[in-house]
Amino acid sequence: MGEPNSNDNAMVHDNEMIDGNGVIHGSEMIHGSVMIHGDEMPHGNEMIHGNEMIHGTEMVEGSEMIHGHEMVQVNDLIHGNEMVAVNVMVNGDEMPHVNEFINTEVTPRRRRKKKSLVWEHFTIEPMPGGNSRACCNLCKQTFAYSSGSKIAGTSHLKRHITLGSCPVMKDQDRRLTLPLAGGHATDNDGEGTVERPTKRRYRYTGYANATFDQERSSSYLAKMIILHDYPLHIVQQSSFTKFIESLQPRFRVVDVDTMEGEVYAVFQKAKENLLQAFITMPGRISLTIGLWTTSQTLGYVSLAGQFIDSNWKVHRRMLNFMMVSSPHSENALSEAISSSLLEWNMKDRLFTITLDNDCSSHDIYSANLRDHLSNKNNLMLKGQLFVVRCYAHILNVVAQDVIASIHGVIYNIRESIKFIKASPNREEKFAEIALQLEIPSTKTLCLDVTTQWNTTYLMLLAALDYKQAFSTLEICDDNYNESPSAEDWKKVEATCNYLKLLYDSAHSVMASANPTANIFFHEAWKIQLELANGTEHENPIFSSIAKDMHERFDKYWKDCSLVLAIAVVMDPRFKMKLVEFSYSKIYGAEAMKYVKVVNDSLHELYKEYVAQPLPLTPAYVEANNVAANASVNQGNPSSTGDGLLDFDMYLSEIQSTQPAKCDLEQYLEESLTPRIQEFDILNWWKLNTLKFPTLSKMARDILAIPMSMVSSGSSIFSAGTGNRMLDDYRSSLRPETVEALVCAKDWLQYSPPATEVLGSEMIKAETL
């Protein structure tokens, strides 16, 4: 090898070597972002590539080093006798010279650089037959990579390192913390003073070491607070901050005010998404109105909207949770509703509102509310369907009234059960008495939850089977004197008899995941009939209880029977036939008068849909175009070449002289759809939209009426019978924050899981 010439601008003294901008003293050598100590220097044919050592004649990339008193600083290849045009540095007193040739034989070759991140974790190993496999550098598992000229790609390799499949990486994830993405890391376990920039912004390191993002993590924390009703000041709790620090030391826990802003940002983003969804809503919207009070005597109104989308799926979304000065005032409630409709761009789309107010004030309350809103909104059918009472609410009111009427008897039964459950000996003694009396019941005595009337019903039902055992226990045990009398047991029997109607009805409604308005008529008319017949029961105890219950329920029936009946007519399995049948049972000779009211209202409502259609959404434009084309083709038949052109003209003349029947008449005259167990009414209307274009729009709005305010997945039995109370913590927050917490919690339930989003982001991460 030729000796390098001197250069006036560069000098190497003794054991010093110059590499780039650094001076290396002693036996240490700094190369790029890698520090090499003593024996760590590459020898012979060894080359350093990143953090890896390459043997033989492999590629040297970046700023590489060649031992043997020479250093090469270029992005080039050194293969055997190749030529390298570089600044060569020589140990000792030799001076580097530019453009010195190491060898005169030149074979310029350059391999394509692999840019995928997986090659930081995998090495290609040749296999017999010209194939190759990718070997994980950590767990040594191998995966198919190439077969001849065919390359398998890297997706399966990415999954191995990103989805936690590599066992070694899992163990590292538990023990190691990677440096900040795009930042710097130090050698010598953080003790060194030399920093090296990371080559990649993103690293495929599995879920535990996923790319850290402060903003994203803060957003997830806000969503956690929203979804689980955690207080905002959880971010100030020392145990929480220590827990977060143990998971991710780089996460900066924000203060309460900042977290409140994060919550509001989540709320605003979710609200924008919902606004976009409402743009494509094809029909009208019905509201549920809930009243809330606070310990500070403040009032809140919750407004939720229910609608059926273009795919005929029913949805309910919280719209607003706003503070009002007087929630029981019709004016205040009217203003809240109008403000909400304006905010959500649905001023002309309001169909009905559902309330859970008390029966006694319903007439005046709903009438005043109807008058206030009719001046600002076009109400269908002159507002006759506008105000609907919650079905779950009336069930609870009636049930709790009848339970209250025998509260003394129920108290004795509770105390009796407490006495028996107080010790194992008493339970054993009671079981022996039941066995001796040969009581066949398999029910278990249990105490009720006073706020859930269904548990009281089940408690009474079980106690009723053991009434003889209670009487015998009172004789055998001097400490027990709470056994109900024979008359008391008659009251319990009558109460259970009528509570069963309400209990079974509630379960029928809850059996449907997303109950549509048509199912409530079936339940309501049966209760109305049974209670009416019960008032004439020969036993005065039974008739008295039935009379009290019927007085309450009859008020609901008179208020809501019209909307219930119109809804069931939209069920192709029943249409007007079930209305006619049930009314004949309830009203007897006067049935046809009430049937006519339903029929006339149905036709009047249909005429309003024909005269005042809503603007077509994109989902309806295409459907209507198809229907219009079909109509044109039917009205102008083309000749098929069969010589019957005159016959076609004759048919056209008949169609023009005989007015076509409207959708509603055609629907009512067709035979009933067979009743099957798994009938999907929304899917039926979806399939028949083109056949009944106008009626299907009316059916969409009617079936979406929320007859019950209890949302899907909630229990009817726990629905309150009065104003709900906001807790002290929520009451102390600003009204805007309360609304953000309540509404965002509802909206986030319908967002994709965070793990899906995180996983997709990791898979798609690429080198920047």
Average pLDDT on 417-422 reads: 94
Mean local confidence (pLDDT), 744-755 = 77
Report which of 316, 328, 331 is spatially closest to residue 290, judged by C-alpha positions. Answer: 328
234 against 660, higher pLDDT: 234
DSSP 247-278: H-TT-----HHHHHHHHHHHHHHHHHHHHHHH
Is residue 413 scored above 90 in pLDDT? yes
State the pLDDT at residue 296. 77
Pick 665 or 55 by higher pLDDT: 665
Q: Tokens 């700094």 belong to which residue? A: 30
- Can you give the pTM of this predicted structure? 0.68
More confident residue, 591 or 332: 591
User: Residue 542, CB half-sphere, CA atoms under 13 Å: how many?
Assistant: 14
Please report, as a single letter, which amino acid is at residue 31: H
CB contact at 8 A, 205 and 173: yes
Torsion of CA 585, 707, 703, 581, to 10 degrees: 0
Task: Give dist(CA 229, CA 113) in Å, integer.
Answer: 51
Using CA of residue 366, residue 369, residue 373, residue 374, what is the dihedral sign?
A: positive
Read off φ and ψ for residue 543, nearest 5 degrees.
-65, -35
Model confidence pLDDT, tens digit, residues 402-411? 999 999 999 9
Q: How far apart are CA 469 and CA 430, in angstroms?
A: 7
- Cβ 330 vs Cβ 314: under 8 Å: no
**How many CB atoms are located within 10 Å of the residue 309 CB?**
18
CB-based contact 523:534 (threshold 8 Å)? no
- Closest Cα partner for 336 from 394, 270, 277, 291? 291
Q: What is the pLDDT of residue 347?
A: 84
Between 34 and 500, the higher pLDDT residue: 500
pLDDT at 662 > cutoff 60: yes
Distance of CA 557 to the CA centre of its chain: 35
With a cut of 50, say whether residue 49 has pLDDT above it. no
CB 240 within 8 A of CB 228: no
Overall average pLDDT of the 187-192 stretch? 42
Are the beta carbons of 477 and 471 closer than 8 angstroms? Answer: no
User: Looking at this protein, which amino acid is placed at residue 176?
Assistant: L
Residue identified by tokens 């009848």 is 402
How confident is residue 492, by pLDDT bands cut at 50, 70 and 90? very high
Q: Which single residue is written with the structure tokens 């229910």?
A: 306
Q: Is the pLDDT of residue 335 over 90?
A: no
Question: Residue 615 in contact with residue 280, Cβ under 8 Å?
Answer: no
pLDDT, tens only, 625-652 = 544 454 444 444 454 567 788 787 777 7
pLDDT of residue 200: 42
pLDDT band at 175 (very low <50, low <70, confident <90, very high): low
Tell me the average pLDDT of the chain.
77
How many helices and strands (H and E) does the chain possess? 25, 22
CA distances for 224 relative to 217, 229, 319, 630, 745, angstroms? 10, 8, 21, 52, 9
| Overall average pLDDT of the 287-301 stretch | 87
Residue range 241-264: mean pLDDT, rounded = 93
Domain boundaries, the chain: 11-90, 115-155, 216-390+723-752
| 132 pLDDT higher than 60 | yes
Tell me how far apart the alpha carbons of residues 327 and 174 are, in angstroms, rounded to a whole number: 54
Does 760 score more than 60 pLDDT? no
